[in-house]
Amino acid sequence: MTEFGALVRERRSVRMFLRDKPVPRELLDEALALAMRAPSNSNIQPWRVFITSGARRDRLVAALLEAASAGFPESTGVPESFLPLRRELGALVYGAMGIARSDTEARRQARLRNWEFFGAPVGGVVCMHRDLGLVDSLGVGMFLQTLVLALTERGLGACVQVSIAEYPEVLRAQLEIPDELTILCGLSIGYPDPAFPANGLAVPRNPVEANVVFLER
């Protein structure tokens, strides 16, 4: 119980990786095998993951950066009423990196790192069949949470990235992702850069009672 709690608290969204420290394939295989134990509706196991590294990863990054440099996506994917939470997180992350709100170029460069997988040597794209729905996306989420915890247990870092999915046509062309799969998010995997200040950022969480209703009578 204590070990699991420590693992959950240790997990962070890593935003800078050691580019030249490769991830052993056996660690990826172990973590993925554990993640495959995640529950899913009717045992459909709806997650489909494309993992890339080496020259293929570099070509994907180049294509993503070309698309992002031409113009960032207009939509953040966050409803208007929830945007204050996004802005709060942005202030924390950019503040940890020492980037002022008025420094437009530094913020642009930092944002572009999203499409470099934050320098991670391993990049992933998570998909689900287009005919599946919200219930099955819960299964994908449980798979992802299990995966990032398993990676954390092995000394690796990860970041689940909605930004990667904002250029689906690039991902399909570079990774040969078939049309019947809906692209949900990206995933960066590697060893965290200990010198990057934002990697130590502890993002606050709500108290339990803010999100959970207990009904006893």
Three-state DSSP state, 128? strand
Better pLDDT: 74 or 127: 127
- pLDDT value at residue 2: 57
Rg from Cα positions in the chain:
18
Q: What is the value of pTM for the model shown?
A: 0.93
Residues 6+ apart with CB under 8 A from 24: none
- pLDDT value at residue 16: 97
d(CA 148, CA 191): 13
pLDDT > 70: percent of the chain: 98
Residues 160, 13 contacting (CB under 8 angstroms): yes
Residues 6+ apart with CB under 8 A from 123: 51, 52, 53, 57, 60, 61, 117, 164, 186, 187, 188, 189
* Whole-number average pLDDT of the chain: 94
pLDDT digits (tens, 9 = 90+) for 86-144: 888 888 888 888 888 888 899 899 999 999 999 999 999 999 999 999 999 999 999 99
Three-state DSSP state, 191? coil
Q: How confident is the model at residue 1 (pLDDT cuts 50, 70, 90)?
A: very low
With both helix axes pointing from N to C terminus, report the angle between 168-175 and 54-69 in degrees, rounded to the nearest 10: 160
